[in-house]
A and B are shown apart, each in its own frame.
Chain A
């Protein structure tokens, strides 16, 4: 049975593994469950996880991760004192470049052959402390490191600056936007090494053990609009007596309609010219006397 794109990404069955995985959510939907799902998959593989957290505490995250699997996790606490207000030399300062933060753990990592997975939870908290250009560069350098299997970035797309979000989408091999629909769904963009880009919209649910289930292509044919667009369309439709919406049948008929210029472009066109009586029809080239 062919795997869905969501399964390939979050159960680590995509070959090769997307180097940078960007997972985004909003205030209306929580993507943390999916984050824990992919981390648990890596723990089973096994891989060593280096986890930088900026909002929750390590013990609050740890209870959802299956550390009894063969992988191990090292936490970097960017939540307690991110910019040194409590201590002059905090354990982890988010003002440092990410390469320096993650280097703290690499020194003690004796299993050089084991794959490393780095997690940044949440990226928008780091943008508060660092220049966005330097941050993007740091992420590039981190993902290109030796033994790095994957760099997982988790952020809220409604609080990230637009420019930073588009840069992140550009450098990521896999982008998953969790949508506030019911049932839960996400928009995926998967960039293969062969330069093929797969876009999908899949529905899913998670069980209590954070396993993906009920994955299927989203039934809606259209890419779902954001809530604001849906509201504005509804408001516009309610303000007139005209019907501004289309039924499914009307939409299909509209998409199947071949417009005259489209027909000409695909089948070729002919110019039919009927000269008048007074026309001096001459087959000679009028530009013959030009010395070009």
Chain B
């Protein structure tokens, strides 16, 4: 969908079909919603099953974005190609007093202090993607926005453990093809916990896409910085990563990428 973002990632040597973990970090001033929609449309266009775990927005939010772009995500859920684990809906279930089975609920940790608060959520995701794994199908697992769990009292270490288990679900290995896991975090330099979670996940990620707003303020022509960082997992003798730095502008149906300092208002 966003051809410029796709070619930027392919330009650094990442092909979605090879699988792995892609980390997308956003900030308050630069949202990753567009990129998440890009991955959803990639799954839809290539007929890959998608499991979307939404912890910050509702499924309706992404359906509305899809409708504006001419993509019918609701139809995909009806056909069984898209499966959605809606965090906000599960949260209201827990807070509903009529719900008896708090212990096994994915968000039961809110009412019941637990040593492994995200274990039930992991089990739900595993159950959701199990049919695709059994048939050896390539699928996408998108978890958005994992740092929202910090607001529910989950510790950064528990989130890192959860992301490790999600990575095991896709069978991530440089030696054989795995499915694609996309994790979205909010990375605010002033928030130590968010920074810890982002750095912890970035270590094991194939690719880190960082979206940040401009440090100097707002601009109509430039909405922020788009940075891609990749370590070569096949060549550990290369200690430094390959980094590509762009600036971006979000348009109605497109994400425009350009070299820093070459926006329309400058040229």
Interface positions of A (Cβ within 8 A of B):
25, 27-34, 36, 55, 57, 59-60, 63-64, 79-83, 85-86, 122, 124-125, 127-129, 156, 158-159, 178, 180, 182, 184, 206-208, 210
Contact = CB atoms under 8 A, between A and B. Distances in A.
Nearest to B235: A208
Contacts of A83: 116, 161
B239 A206 contact: yes
B175 A60 contact: yes
A100 B202 CA distance: 30
Nearest to B197: A159
Contacts of B164: 55, 79, 82, 125
A85 B122 contact: yes
A253 to B, nearest CB: 35
Contacts of A127: 157
Given A60-B174, A60-B175, A64-B236, 12 more contacts: A25-B239, A29-B240, A30-B231, A30-B236, A32-B236, A34-B239, A55-B164, A55-B203, A80-B168, A85-B165, A124-B200, A128-B160
Interface string B236-260: 1111110000000000000000000
Contacts of B196: 159
Contacts of A180: 240
Contacts of A33: 236-239
A270 B168 CA distance: 76
Q: Is the interface of A mostly helix, strand, loop or mixed?
A: loop
B119 interface: yes
B74 interface: no
B204 interface: yes
A59 B231 contact: no
Q: Which of A27, A34, A59, A64 has the most CB atoms of chain B within a 10 A radius of its CB?
A: A27
Interface in B223-237: 231, 233, 235-237
Contacts of A30: 231, 236, 238-241
B237 A28 contact: no
23 contacts: A27-B208, A28-B241, A29-B239, A29-B241, A30-B236, A32-B236, A33-B239, A55-B164, A59-B173, A59-B175, A60-B174, A60-B233, A83-B161, A85-B165, A86-B165, A128-B160, A128-B161, A156-B203, A159-B199, A159-B200, A180-B240, A207-B237, A208-B237
Nearest to B198: A27
Interface in B109-133: 116, 119, 122-123
Interface string B146-167: 0000000000011011001100
Contacts of B235: 208
A27 to B, nearest CB: 5
Contacts of A158: 199
5 nearest CB pairs, A to B: A206-B237, A128-B157, A33-B236, A32-B236, A184-B239
A209 B160 CA distance: 32
Contacts of B236: 30, 32-33, 36, 64, 210
Contact of B239 (A31, A63, A159): A31
Nearest to A29: B239
A30 B231 CA distance: 8
A67 to B, nearest CB: 16
B239 A85 contact: no
A210 B238 CA distance: 10
A29 B161 CA distance: 23
Contacts of B165: 85-86
Nearest to A26: B199
Contacts of A208: 235, 237
A238 to B, nearest CB: 12
A79 B239 contact: no
Given A29-B240, A210-B236, A55 B119 contact: no
A120 B21 CA distance: 23
B174 A79 contact: no
Contacts of A82: 161, 164
A159 B164 CA distance: 15
Contacts of A31: 239
B75 to A, nearest CB: 34
B203 A159 contact: yes
Contacts of A55: 164, 203-204
A222 to B, nearest CB: 21
A207 B208 CA distance: 25
Nearest to A212: B237
Interface in B20-55: none
A57 B167 CA distance: 12
